[in-house]
A and B are shown apart, each in its own frame.
Chain A
């Protein structure tokens, strides 16, 4: 479960990115975060995995209070989260298999478990046959599937995605959404920032709209609401 209470964020350069956000996301929910560029979506997302710290207010994720969380405990928070980015953030020198395994290696998982889990998630994103390829040899959609595989390989309760389909063509976008739906069906909470009107209007889920650092709309089974 994710809870934000009276969250404010002001950057050092004086920009007020978030101006009083209160929101509760229950576990197992699928939430779209929408809004124009510069509205504070990215800050909202980044605060959830503690890349940014709120200036005031409280953020609770799975019972961990991110505002009081000590710096050296942050890695343990992140192990309970999966994060997917627009630019995939794969390591070009590692194979597909190694990229996914990386997330488990750095948390000192045993080699046996690593192998089992990596093959499982590669199977889920239907890329088991590309395990030995390098990211550069894959299409954008395939790369994003790898990055999703990496984000869920440690079985996180929450998956956070910042414009995961931003760099992908429409067909590939639908493939990615299929995978997200599948992951959500298995019980993982998904918070996804997006600009893709078609997705939001087709796969109806809860929509949180942010403008000027505030939540201006929060609807169950909402629509995108902005002109394309």
Chain B
């Protein structure tokens, strides 16, 4: 395509946006509403996902070491664990440390445990984290087979339930996002169809004087793209403002290691990028769909 032609298509596309004032407004509004819903949804879904990931990362396998193990054997066991595929982090905690932690975590009531300082009933322990939380149970099974391992513990039931919740929220989220995108596409394609209908004569003449289909299509595709991008502006602004506000108010109120909102930046920029991209794509798709019928001359 010649540069001159590209410039012409851009100019025509822009001109059409201005020329079809009310239809432009209608299309942009349609995109705005859908992208706003989609954007809010994305924000919520990504945050849920993030909670899920944080929870997953919190999963630790606790390996209690048999008291008969010598220091040397204890050290060897540590090295064997480190070599198991899927193990990403390893932390050792002696039984004395374990007791101290226990006492500290119980506060005042913990003092009752102080009497065990002479005769510590706890075990030395290794804390294992896996590179992928889904490998946890596999790694745990492997750990059970090692020498001097007296017990392996991890929240089996909790983990399974957690994964289920995270999976369901992901799937439901994806389905809703897809559904909303399609709604937006049909809204745009319908509004653009009306603008094209008003100009079917122009298209007919172009076809009769020998314009190729792509030559005719480009300005409409650009028009659709612009409508989509314009439609993304308001939702982005609202979400930016809304999320920053929510983040600043909500974050200080929750004190938890895993339920945390994603920091405003760069998260909000990613959302903005996604919304612009989706707006542009559905705009272009919508106009391509709606022009098809009119090209058959």
Residues of A within 8 A of B (CB): 49, 51, 72, 75-79, 83, 89, 91, 102-103, 105-108, 111, 150, 154
Query: B100 an interface residue at 8 Å Cβ cutoff?
Result: no
**Contact yes or no, A76 B210, CB < 8 A:** yes
A75:B207 contact, CB within 8 angstroms: yes
Out of B5, B202, B210, B216, which one reaches A78, CB within 8 Å? B210
Report B's interface with A, CB cutoff 8 A.
2, 4-5, 8, 201-202, 204-213, 215-216, 297
Given the complex of chains A and B, what is the CA–CA distance between A150 and B215 in angstroms? 19
Question: Can you list 7 A-B pairs with a CB-CB distance of less than 8 A?
Answer: A72-B212, A75-B207, A78-B209, A89-B208, A108-B2, A108-B4, A108-B5
Check B201 against A75 for contact (C-beta < 8 Å). Answer: no
Q: CB distance A78 to B8 under 8 Å?
A: no
- B-side contacts of A51, CB under 8 Å: 297
Do residues A102 and B209 form an inter-chain contact, with CB atoms below 8 A? yes
Which B residues are in CB contact (< 8 Å) with A49? 208
Q: Which of A72, A106, A108 contacts B209 (CB 8 A)?
A: A106
Residues in A whose Cβ lies below 8 Å from that of B208: 49, 78, 83, 89
CB distance from B4 to the nearest CB of A (A): 8
Distance A168 CA – B92 CA, assembled complex (angstroms): 100
Q: Report the bound CA distance from A107 to B207 in whole Å.
A: 10
Question: What CA separation (Å) do A81 and B107 show in the bound complex?
Answer: 95
Q: For residue B213, which residues in chain A have a CB less than 8 angstroms away from its CB?
A: 72, 75
- Kindly state the separation between the CA atoms of A197 and B115 in the bound complex, as whole angstroms: 124
Give CA–CA (A160, B148) in the complex, Å. Answer: 97
A76-B210, A102-B206, A107-B210 provided; 10 other pairs, C-beta below 8 A? A72-B213, A75-B210, A79-B209, A89-B205, A91-B202, A102-B209, A103-B209, A150-B209, A154-B209, A154-B210
Contacts of A75 in B (CB 8 A): 207, 210-213
User: Which one of A76, A79, A102, A154 contacts B205 once the chains associate, using CB atoms below 8 Å?
Assistant: A102
Q: Could you say which residues of chain A place their CB within 8 Å of the CB of B209?
A: 78-79, 102-103, 106-107, 150, 154
B201 & A89 in contact (Cβ 8 Å cutoff): yes
How long is the Cα–Cα vector from A66 to B216 in the complex, in angstroms? Answer: 22
Cα–Cα, bound, A103→B209 (Å): 5
Q: Which residue of A lies closest to B202 (CB)?
A: A91
Nearest chain B CB to A164's CB is how many angstroms away?
14
